[in-house]
Structure 1
Amino acid sequence: MLETHSFHFRLSELLQRINALLPQERTIEATPPDEAKLRGLLSDLSPLITAFSAIGNADDIWSVVGLERNEVRTARVLTWLLDPRGSHGARATYFKTLWQNIPEQRRPFELGTVLRATRETVPIGDGQNRVDIEVEGDDFIVIIEVKIDAVEGLNQLSRYVSVAKAKATVRGKSKFAVLFLTPGRPLTLPQHCVHVSWLDISRAIKQTLKANPSESMGAHLASSFADHIRSL
């Protein structure tokens, strides 16, 4: 990772030197750049590009594994990030940041301790309501319904609110909510349900990483995942 930072510094310095040779205003009278100096700087850029390709920081890892717009695979990676037990090493900070970024007037409740996040669960064991992600805390249950291209099923969110409430009651927890994760903002939502977008998730990940800088592989994968989902 240190090698990557060194590359970024050298590239930034080189681009600043190139920029200094270019006209600052697009006018007919603008002085053309010094061609010899520009060719020299571009020549210096070539080995940097070659060096970067050899660093092997796996920036395109999510394309390699075929994540694309697949809801199931994307939800699995997101569950890993939201789970405080995850090998990413960030504990519960990604979920906490996402939650705190929900405007206070729409935030269902204030979080206690986040215990775990699990994927593709049947919270009340009825064999019917399988949810994408379930986040459990010391005093709450949050169900996350993940959508990318699919549309909401008939009364799906209302059912999930009922499921979250029932699971919270069974587990002796006083708070529950459903997060509807989808690119577009729905017109209406049932009570105890809040909309979040993939851009919200991306921003929460980046905000967490900025507040807690790390050179770990977990942090690098989280950052590249944030880039991947930003445009979903």
Structure 2
Amino acid sequence: MNLSDEEALQNFLLDIDCLDELLPWTKRFNLFDVLKISRMEIRHSNMLAWLLNPNENHGLGDAFLKAIVQIVVQNDDNGRYNILETLLMDFYSFVVYREWKNIDILLVSDAEKFLIAIENKIDSHEHDNQLKKYRDVLAKDYPDYTKMRLYLTPDGEEPSDTNYWDVLSYRDVVEALSDQKNAIEMASDVALVVENYLDVLRRDIVEDEKLVEICNKIYAKHRKALDLIFEYRVDGRTRLVDIVKNVLATLSRENMIIADTSSNASFLSFHTSAMNECLTPLKDANGSWGSECVYTYWLAVQEEKICGIFEIGGWNVPEDEMRIMQRMIDIEKPNDKRRNEFRYKRLFRTGWHRIEECDNIEEAVSDCVKRVIDELLKKEDKLLRRLKESPIEEGKFPM
């Protein structure tokens, strides 16, 4: 049904109660929002150091630390840890340090001759061979200790020093912490803080599948009205989005990307020729995004920074392409337990790139967008090369 703009807005207003489903995310008090620290890396490290310390006053004892260690041991495919010895340690013997020689979180047990180092990244990426430097420091200062080195990121990003660091995702943190919160009775004030922290992780750090589902349902039902609202609202973000769209169009004309003509203020998407060869568009517009596409790149624009995201869509995908998707998941998110049935799955993202302050805003935004897309294309090239190096069974990688 083709609705006029007026009819689309009228239908949205008559169905305005559909937004009530978002109230649990928009109306609930959250301490971390009040303090404006929901995405501050250092504050997350402080919170995690407190929760991981068995001797702190949170009431969890060693349960959360033990749960995290158990996740790492279960995902260990390299035989780094003796399962029984590791899980039967005296976790109360660990001492927790923050920013010890620049390592975000360090837990050391002299009694067990065991240490756990955690490098925490939320909106940034490792730089200057950080992980190798930290490994060398730990080897020098704790030569006889068994070392568990954890690279903690929102999506379980692979570390550069992959032979020595284990992957840990914030999804793992959410699952472990929520399990322990439900199993252990805590003081009311502590329970509130922990619940607030879990809410922030689900909403801002880990993709909240329920929230995504509700937002997509509302958007699918009132797409025209919501696009109109975003298109004509007047604020700084509108100007920023318009500039980003123009940059995408320019890069498309230069054959660097393929800009999505259906992009709007809330979904600035594009595709690439190389990925189209790998994941061929569908014949009908019945994919996850209501189009022929089975994947998308899109840019998230937030205040004065931009990041890029790559996602695959699992709806109505042919068997051959689903095998390719499963191999991509093996490469990018090997510990993903939700791989069989999904509508959207985020495989990788860039860090947040800040728009530099200068007199020419168009030039600054263009430079930022190009940096983000360059990082995405490097990740794409790495993924496609790894696919070619490990062909998919029962089919050939289409290149």
Q: TM-score range by the shorter chain?
A: 0.5 to 0.7
Partner of 1:141: 115
**Structure possessing the higher relative contact order (Cα contacts under 8 Å, 6 or more residues apart):** 1
CA distance in 2, matches of 1:132, 1:152: 12
1:75-107 deviation per Cα after TM superposition (whole angstroms, max 9, x unaligned)? 111111111122212122111101112224257
Which one of the candidate residues 53, 60, 66 is aligned to 1:90? 60
Secondary structure of the residue aligned to 2:96 is: strand
Seen in structure 2, the aligned counterparts of structure 1 residues 117 and 74 have a Cα distance that, compared at 3 Å, is same
- TM-score, normalised via structure 2 length: 0.39
Q: Is the 8 A contact 1:134 1:144 kept in 2?
A: yes
Which one of the candidate residues 92, 96, 104 is aligned to 1:117? 96
1:145-191 deviation per Cα after TM superposition (whole angstroms, max 9, x unaligned)? 0111111112111122222223322xxx5301211011242265432
- Matched letter for residue 113 of structure 1: D
- Matched letter for residue 58 of structure 2: H
- Matched letter for residue 151 of structure 2: F
Q: Is the 8 A contact 1:62 1:225 kept in 2?
A: yes
Which one of the candidate residues 142, 151, 157 is aligned to 1:168? 142
Q: Is the 8 A contact 2:59 2:186 kept in 1?
A: no
Which one of the candidate residues 186, 192, 208 is aligned to 2:158? 186
CA distance in 2, matches of 1:59, 1:106: 43
- TM-score, normalised via structure 1 length: 0.64
Q: Is the 8 A contact 2:150 2:165 kept in 1?
A: yes
Seen in structure 2, the aligned counterparts of structure 1 residues 187 and 140 have a Cα distance that, compared at 3 Å, is closer
Which one of the candidate residues 155, 158, 177 is aligned to 2:148? 177
1:181-224 deviation per Cα after TM superposition (whole angstroms, max 9, x unaligned)? 11242265432310111111111101112232435422332232
Alignment partner of 1:151 is 2:120: no
- Matched letter for residue 181 of structure 1: L
CA distance in 1, matches of 2:186, 2:176: 16
Q: Is the 8 A contact 1:83 1:118 kept in 2?
A: no
1:1-150 to 2 correspondences below 5 Å = 59-102=29-72, 103-105=75-77, 108-109=80-81, 110-111=86-87, 112-114=89-91, 115-122=94-101, 130-137=102-109, 138-150=112-124
Deviates more, 1:143-152 or 1:108-117: 108-117
Unaligned runs of 5+ in 1: 1-48, 123-129
CA distance in 2, matches of 1:198, 1:179: 12
Secondary structure of the residue aligned to 2:142 is: helix
- Matched letter for residue 79 of structure 1: A
> How far does residue 135 in structure 1 lie from its aligned partner after superposition?
0.9
CA distance in 1, matches of 2:76, 2:125: 27
Q: Is the 8 A contact 2:108 2:115 kept in 1?
A: yes
Partner of 1:198: 170
Partner of 2:192: 220
Unaligned runs of 5+ in 2: 1-22, 206-399
CA distance in 2, matches of 1:73, 1:59: 19
1:17-65 deviation per Cα after TM superposition (whole angstroms, max 9, x unaligned)? xxxxxxxxxxxxxxxxxxxxxxxxxxxxxxxx9xxx9xxxx95011112
